[in-house]
Amino acid sequence: MLGIIASLIDGVLVGLVYGLAAMGLTLIWGVMDVINLTHGTMIVGGMFALYLLATALGMPPYLTLPPVLIGGFVVGVALYWVAVHRMIGRPPLMSLLSTFAVNLMLIGIGTGLWGTALFNVSVSLPGLSIGRYTFPGAHILAAALAALIAGLLYLFLHKTRLGKALRAVANNREAAELVGIPTTKLLAIAVGCGVALAGVSGMLIGTLFPFTVLSGDGYQLKSFVVTVLGGFGNPVGALMGGVALGLLEGAVTPFVPVSWTLVIEFALFVLVLIAFPNGIFARRGAL
Residues that bind another protein (CB under 8 A): 161, 164-165, 167-168, 171-172, 174-183, 284-286
Q: Which is nearer to another protein, 11 or 279 (CB)?
A: 279
Q: How far is the CB of 97 from another protein (least distance, A)?
A: 24
Residue 119: strand pairing partners? 211
Residues 6+ apart with CB under 8 A from 285: 170, 171
Distances (CA, A) of 258 to 36, 77, 138, 248, 250: 28, 37, 21, 13, 11
Q: How far is the CB of 286 from another protein (least distance, A)?
A: 4
DSSP element (H, E) containing 176: helix 173-178
Q: How far is the CB of 236 from another protein (least distance, A)?
A: 13
What gap in Å lies between CA 64 and CA 59, rounded to an integer? 7
Q: How far is the CB of 287 from another protein (least distance, A)?
A: 8
What gap in Å lies between CA 267 and CA 213, rounded to an integer? 27
Q: How far is the CB of 240 from another protein (least distance, A)?
A: 18
Task: Give the ranges where the chain is alpha helix by DSSP (H).
Answer: 2-32, 39-51, 65-79, 92-114, 137-159, 161-171, 173-178, 183-206, 216-230, 235-252, 258-275
Q: Which is nearer to another protein, 155 or 256 (CB)?
A: 155
Q: Which is nearer to another protein, 38 or 183 (CB)?
A: 183
DSSP 286: -
What gap in Å lies between CA 25 and CA 194, rounded to an integer? 6
Q: How far is the CB of 4 from another protein (least distance, A)?
A: 40
Q: How far is the CB of 173 from another protein (least distance, A)?
A: 10
Distances (CA, A) of 234 to 25, 89, 150, 152, 271: 10, 21, 12, 15, 20
Q: Which is nearer to another protein, 104 or 162 (CB)?
A: 162
Taken in order 173, 176, 177, 181, the sign of the CA dihedral is: negative
Q: Which is nearer to another protein, 21 or 31 (CB)?
A: 31
Q: Which is nearer to another protein, 134 or 160 (CB)?
A: 160
Q: Which is nearer to another protein, 111 or 171 (CB)?
A: 171
Residue 130: strand pairing partners? 133
